[in-house]
Structure 1
Amino acid sequence: MAKVCISCGKGPAFGQSRSHSMRATKRRFDANLQKVRLLVNGAPTREYVCTRCLKANKVQKAV
């Protein structure tokens, strides 16, 4: 299962780490995803949601 936000689709971004000598090595910038209990089609399920969507109340949490 890919770590992608169920609400907005945000996932990992890719770039490069640069050392002092400016040598480039590949790295991965992971989104800040949290596993949350949500109501999806009326049933509670655990899904990954980014903190931006959680803060903006774009998803409905299961109580």
Structure 2
Amino acid sequence: MARRCEICGKTIAFGIQLSHSHIRTKRTWAPNLQRVRAIVDGRPKRIRVCTRCLKSGKVQRAI
């Protein structure tokens, strides 16, 4: 399963790691995803959401 936020679509970012001796290696940055129960179309459902969406209130949690 792909690691992406189901609200904003945030996914893995790619780049390079640069050491002190300027050795360049490829690396990735993964989003901080949490599996939460949220209200989707009026019903509770488990979705993967990034912590930025949780903190900003874009997700209505199911209790």
For this structure pair, what is the TM-score category when the shorter chain's length is used for normalisation?
0.7 to 0.9
Aligned length: 63
What's the Cα RMSD here? 1.1
Q: Any stretches of 5+ residues in structure 1 without a counterpart?
A: none
Aligned to 2:8: 8
Aligned to 2:35: 35
Alignment partner of 2:54: what SS?
helix
Structure 1 vs Structure 2: percent identity of aligned residues? 56
Distance 1:48 1:11 in 2: 11
How do residues 40-51 of structure 1 correspond to structure 2 at under 5 angstroms?
A: 40-51=40-51
Distance 1:56 1:20 in 2: 36
Q: Which runs of 4+ in 1 moved over 6 A?
A: none
Q: Any stretches of 5+ residues in structure 2 without a counterpart?
A: none
The TM-score normalised by the length of structure 2 is 0.86
